[in-house]
Amino acid sequence: MTLPSTDFLLIAGRAVFLVFSFVVAAISFTAWRRATRRQTEEVLSQSQLVLQRLAELEARLDATKLAITQLGERLDRPAAPALSQSPSPGYQIAIRLARGGASREELMSGCGLTLAEAELVRRLHGPHTPELRQVS
């Protein structure tokens, strides 16, 4: 038997190395594609989760806007009728008594006013007498 020539051995070695390199490259490429596909699926699932949470936040924001609008309307509504209402009957009686010259004590006992209220009613609706100013 004759030994193959060195050129033949080098060519055969190169062929085996190229086939081995091709197999390693094919395996690496397949693994890389699988990893990329898995990462893409993870990104898509996370994007779906983010979109779902964003939709929930938008719904909550709309509900909050509606609630704030309703609260604003409720705050505005009672303010207008309260301004147009006339004073209570106790104040009407106190005003009549003050115009007749009743004292603070009479207003407090007869109409159930506090001292400050009785004084205010007397000043606003009582007989207007000019006060004497002392000059020093």
pLDDT at 132: 45
pLDDT at 88: 73
The string of pLDDT tens digits covering residues 22-38 is 999 999 999 999 999 99
User: Residue 59 is which amino acid?
Assistant: A
- Domain limits, the chain: 1-85, 87-127
Percent of the chain having pLDDT more than 90?
Answer: 48
Question: Going by C-beta distance under 8 Å and a sequence separation of 6 or more, which residues neighbour residue 55?
Answer: none
Neighbours of 104 (CB within 10 A): 18
The string of pLDDT tens digits covering residues 79-113 is 555 555 566 777 888 888 889 888 888 888 888 88
pTM of this prediction exceeds 0.75: no
